[in-house]
Amino acid sequence: MEKQRVLFLCTHNSARSQMAEGLLREVAGERFESHSAGTEKTHVRPLAIEAMREVGVDLSGQESKTLDRYIREPFDYVVTVCDSANEACPFFPNARERLHWSFPDPSKAEGSEKEKLAFYGEVRDAIRRRIESELVNVGSARS
C-alpha cells in the first residue's frame, strides 16, 4: 500500500510543524510520509527538540524548510498548525485535502526553562491527539 503524504505548515517551521512531522512519523510512519515546512525558514527550536525527546522522538536531525520546495508536490493532506500560516498558506494545487489545526505558539511561553518546556509538552500532546484522531484513525477507517 502506498503511504499517504502529509505536509505540516507553520510560519517558521521551528516547533509546531516540526513536532507534528516527528509525531506522525513515530505514530504511523508505516502508513504516512511526513513532511513539514514554513512560510519562513528559521531553525528547529531546542525546546521543541527537548519536548519530543521526552516522548522518545528525535528531532535533532530535522531542519527548518520553506514551503517553496513542496508547492508542486502531491499531498494527501496539507495541515496548517498555526493561524498565521493558515492565512498566508498558498493554494496547494496537488493537495487532496487541506486542514487547519490551531495550536498556541510554544515559543511565546514565559517563565523558567522548566515552565517553558512544560508548555511545549502541552502543545506536543495536543498535536499528537489531533494526529491520532484526524489522520491516523480516520486513515485506517478509509483503508
CB atoms within 10 A of CB 57: 18
Written as one letter, the residue type at 76 is D
Active-site hit among 37, 44, 89, 131: 89
Active-site hit among 6, 10, 15, 135: 10
Rg (CA), the chain: 14
Query: Residue 19 in contact with residue 12, Cβ under 8 Å?
Result: no
121 in catalytic set: no
Q: Is 66 helix (H, G, I), strand (E, B) or coil?
A: strand
How far apart CA 47 and CA 61 sit, in angstroms, is 14
5 in catalytic set: no
135 in catalytic set: no
Active site residues: 10, 82, 89
